[in-house]
Every structure is written in C-alpha cells, then in structure tokens.
Amino acid sequence: MSTTVQGRPAAVTAAAAAPGGRSRGPARARWAAVAFVAPAWLYVAGFYLYPLASSIRMGFQDYTVSSFYTGVAPYVGWDNYSKVLHDSHFGRTVLNTVVFTAGSLVFQFALGLALAVFFNRRFPLGGPLRSLLLVPWLLPLVVSGTAWRWILDTDSGVLNHALLQLHLIGHPVPWLASTHDALTAVTLVNIWVGIPFNMVILYGGLQSIPGELYEAAALDGAGGWQRFRHITLPLLRPVTAVVLTLGLIYTVKVFDVIMILTQGGPAGSSQTLTTFAYNLSFQQLEFGRGAAVGNLLIVVAVVFAVVYLRATREQRQAGR
Amino acid sequence: MLFPLYWMLNASLLPSTDLVKSSPTWIPLHGTLQGYRRALSSQGSHLLVSLGVSAGTVVLVLLIAVPAAYGLAQLRAPGGRLLTFAFLIAQMIPGVVMANSFYTAASKLHLLDSPLALILADSTLCVPFAVLVLQAAMRGVPAELSEAAVLDGASRLRTLLSVILPVSRNAVVTASLFSFLFAWADFLFAVTLTTRDDRAPVTVGIYRFIGAHLSDWNSVMATGIIASLPAAVLLVVAQRYVAAGVTSGAVKD
C-alpha cells in the first residue's frame, strides 16, 4: 500500500515521516496506540497464557475432584505422564488418532480438490451451488453429528438400507456399535465435515492460476490429466501445504464428531487423544492426568504450528 | 454432500413410526409437525440460553478486537507483530486443554453454570479470528481518512468510531457473524462448563436429548433443524460475508 504525501498538511506529514517511519510519532500518539491494544494483551494473558500455564502446572499435580473442595493438589512430578503412558488404552488411542487424522486429511483433501476443480469451470448456477456446499461446514457439529447418527443407525439407518439393497453387505453393519467399524464411521463423518473447507481454500488457489498457462499447454497438445499434473498440482503446492497443515491442526483436536457419534467407544475403539483427555478429566475426574494428555496434544499442535508458519511464509514469498 | 441434511429435514417431518420401518420413507408426504412442537417445548429454554450466550460473545469479541485491530493496523502499536503472532498461535491450542483450565478456574470463581463463563470461554474461539479479519480490512483504509478526522479535532476513539468503523463495516459484519456462529455451535465448553440441565445451551440440550430419547428421532431431528437456523439464515442473507470469512483463514475445530 502506498500513501501519497502530496497535499498532506505539514504538521501531519512531519509526524508520519519522522525517521524510521513507524511508531516514532510523538509520545502521546504512541501511548494512544498502546491504549488501544492493551485490552487485547490483557486478554491474551488471561485467556490463553493463563489456561496454558495452568494446564502445564496441573499436569504435574494430583488434581482430583477433592482438590476442588480442599484446594489441595500435591505435586507428583511426572507421575501423571507415566500413568497415562502405561494406560492400557494409550497405545490404541494414539494409533486411532493417527488413523483418524491421516484418513480424514487424505480424503478431505482429495474430494475437496475434486470439487474445487469441478467448480473452477464456469457453468450456470455454479456459484450458488458452491455456497450451498458450505452448509455442512457452517452447521453446528452437534447437529450434523446427530444427523449422521441416524443415518448410521444399525437397524433403521438409511446407509445400511442402501447397502443391503445394492447387495454390498449381507447383514446390517453396526457402524457405531462395533469395535471393528466405529473408527471408520467417525472418520467418514469427519471427512464429510472437512470437505467444504478444503474445497473453498483450494478453489481460491485454482482461481489464482492464470488461464493462459492452460491455453498454452492445450496448444502444445497436453491432455486434461497432463495439464492437471504439470500445471495445477505444482502451482497449487503452497496452498496445499497450508490446507494440509491447518487441516492437521484442526483434525488432531476434533471432539464434537466423536463425542456425538460414539463417545470414543465401544471399548475405546474410536477414542482419540482429545476424547481421552476429556474422559480422564470430566468422566473419571482425574484432572491432572487429563491435563497431561492435553499437554501432549499441545506438543503435537506446536510442532504442526511451526510447520504451518513455515508453509505460510513460503507461500507469501512465492506469491510476491 | 447435502444428502445428510435432506435426510435430517425429512426425518424431522416424518412421524416416529415411519422412522423405524424396515424400508425408509424418502419423501415426507404424510408429514407431521409433532417433532417441532416437542422440540420447542423441550429445547426452547436451551435455545434462549444459546441466543444469549452467542449475542454476549459477539459484544465481548468486538469490544476486544475492534480497538486491537485499529491499534495494530492504523496506529502501528509497538509490539504489534508479537500480538498478531500470539493470536495465530492461540488458535492452535486444543480446546480440550482450554476446557480443563476453564473448568477449574470457573469452579474456583463460582462461575459454573453461569452464562458469563460460557461467554468468556466461547470468546476465545472468536477473538483471534476477529482481530485478523478486522486488521486486514483496516489496513486497507487510507491513512488520509483518519488524518483528516484528527485535523478536524476528532480524538482517536472518535476517529475509530465515526471514520474507521463505517468504512470497514463488511469486516465487522463478518467477524460478528462468525463469532455468533462459533459460540452457537460450541459444544466442548458448553458440556464442560454447565452441569445443570436447565442452564445448558442447545448443543448440550440435543446431546442429552439423544441420550434420553434414542428412538425419538423425529423430535431429535426437529431440534437439529431448529438449531441450524442461524447458519441457514446466515448463508441466505449474508452469503458474501460467509465466503469472505471462510477464505480469510477461518478456523473451525
């Protein structure tokens, strides 16, 4: 953004054009700026830093329901962590988290990209249809989760009915009630939830690819698939990196979908680290152990946050 | 993609007996509004709680985010980059970690079951998003505009309210709509911070309702439809804001 100095009154110009430009104005102006952002700083301290610090501290405390009454929560070192790591469900939970996250990401991305490519060709009603597809993303997850629970119902669910009619299955599949299928079912629903987000961001990426490139390639005799492989995919790479890392960060902490559909069950077969942390804290009332699992999640989130920030920086550099 | 939504609408209109038949009824020819009647009578108070909490969240978020965005974008407040970075990172803290801490804090402050606790907790989902959206919009406002106002003798607060805010109206609408939606859809904070059933927002209302009336899909789905109304209204009335919101790096967890 370029601002012209021309015609600006002298007093203002002097202040704005002071050496170094930014924030070198009169002290009063600087204090005014500080006053405007001060509430936000207090907010960050009170609503992000404090919870973060208190979660880290609770991870080292034996914080149980009695702590709320007595105010006593003895420090126990790494005890919570070792209990969690030796929990018989822990291995399964980590594996579930990996399968759930990887499965969601791959299919959300593939289907989102397919839809984005589809809508990138102009056709009548394309715009309204595209925004209609956003509905699943805007609905409260509790609502769409409930709708899916009805669709996946063993006896009266429409999915089983359709599969039986097509003779793809011989007996109704207990999607949410069997230890064998519950993880597949929750992953499926989470894929459905995430497609619109992928579609919108990737569509934005496609729009920024100049059409001449495709025309030139077509003149050179490149087919549709070749154009997709050699133009679309490489030029979409920065956006892809952002979508995938953001998707990863969000998917790792998915809570609503799993809680509504299976509550992590049956027998922990669809439990992920997020629902595990919730269960420890709010069902077993072992807040210290819940915090320990939560802190492990933070570590995962921070790692991907770094990857994300790298990716966006690269994208910004590539874009300019 | 849209079939589950149709199926929910369909089920909300069908009498419960049709819903457990061995072959599904595809079109609600013999529809009934029974489910909606029951939904409103059992979830009406939850809907009111959600409405209050969501509206309160919007107000709180704007109170924090508007001045911050102004300070960052127009006044170039010192430490601005660090603050923006803090908000970027804040969005990545898993909700379950926040819920754990908020629960203990709310319990100490005797704020459990209070709408205030929910407003405060829900605002953490929206403030970073609102600051980023507003900041981007306010950066586009030419400096001449506010300088002219200052020359006319307006204070900075006055400049913000009567010059900057009107021109960045679209961003304010986007931030408000999404804050409302995030708070309306929140389930994690709602289920952890409300223990009394009569104080619960509609997301928890539905959750407990399914638990208790597993076979009564008709009224469960009717509740779902009613709880989706804000999103539906938003999509029809404010389409362009929605697209703007999603593409400006929107968050949903």
Pairwise CB contact (< 8 Å): B231 & A23: no
pLDDT digits (tens, 9 = 90+) for A133-142: 888 888 899 9
> Using CB atoms within 10 A of its CB, is residue A172 exposed (0-12), middle (13-18) or buried (19+)?
middle
User: Among residues A37, A186, A35, A201, which one has the least CA distance to residue B131?
Assistant: A37
A146 touches chain B (CB under 8 A): yes
Confidence check: pLDDT of B191 > 80: yes
Pairwise CB contact (< 8 Å): A37 & B77: yes
* Separation of first and last alpha carbons in chain A: 14
Task: Indicate the SS3 state at residue A286.
Answer: strand
pLDDT digits (tens, 9 = 90+) for A176-228: 988 889 999 999 999 999 999 899 889 988 988 888 888 888 888 888 888 88
Which residues are CB-contacts of B128 (< 8 A; sequence separation ≥ 6)? B87, B88, B90, B91, B251
Average pLDDT over residues A36-51: 94
Nearest to B67 among A39, A260, A287 (CB): A39
Average pLDDT over residues B39-65: 93
Report the number of secondary-structure helices (H) and strands (E) in chain A.
Answer: 18, 0
- Search chain A and give the residue with CA nearest B238: A131
Confidence check: pLDDT of B248 > 50: yes
Whole-angstrom CA distances from A232 to A121, A211, A247, B142, B175 are 13, 11, 20, 36, 32
pLDDT digits (tens, 9 = 90+) for A267-292: 899 999 999 999 999 999 999 999 99
pLDDT digits (tens, 9 = 90+) for A147-184: 999 899 888 788 988 898 898 888 888 899 888 899 99
B71 touches chain A (CB under 8 A): yes
pLDDT given at position B251? 41
User: Among residues A99, A85, A250, which one has the least CA distance to residue B94?
Assistant: A250
pLDDT given at position B155? 84
Pairwise CB contact (< 8 Å): A301 & B93: yes
A132 touches chain B (CB under 8 A): yes
The interface predicted TM-score (ipTM) is 0.89
What integer best gives the mean pLDDT of chain A?
A: 85
Which residues are CB-contacts of B189 (< 8 A; sequence separation ≥ 6)? B95, B98, B99, B102, B118, B121, B122
pLDDT given at position A108? 95
Probe site for chain B from A37, A52, A262 (most B CB atoms < 10 A): A37
A147 touches chain B (CB under 8 A): yes
Confidence check: pLDDT of B184 > 50: yes
Q: Give the rounded distance of the alpha carbon of A18 from its chain centre.
A: 43
| Poorest-pLDDT segment among A71-75, A301-305, B212-216 | B212-216
User: Among residues B247, B200, B103, which one has the least CA distance to residue A294?
Assistant: B103
pLDDT given at position A5? 34
User: DSSP states of B79-145 as a string?
Assistant: THHHHHHHHHHHTTS-HHHHHHHHHHHHHHTT-TT-HHHHHHHHHHHHHHHHHHHHHHHHHTS-HHH
At A177, the amino acid letter reads: A
- The band of A265, judged by pLDDT with boundaries at 50, 70 and 90, is confident
Alpha-carbon distance A207 to B108, whole Å? 51
- Chain A closest CA to B197's CA: distance in Å? 16
Pairwise CB contact (< 8 Å): A305 & B191: no
Whole-angstrom CA distances from A11 to A25, B56, B151, B160 are 11, 42, 9, 21
- Torsion region of B81: left, alpha or beta (phi above 0 gives left; psi -120 to 50 gives alpha): alpha
User: Among residues A41, A51, A90, which one has the least CA distance to residue A289?
Assistant: A90
Two tokens, residue A291 = 């915090």
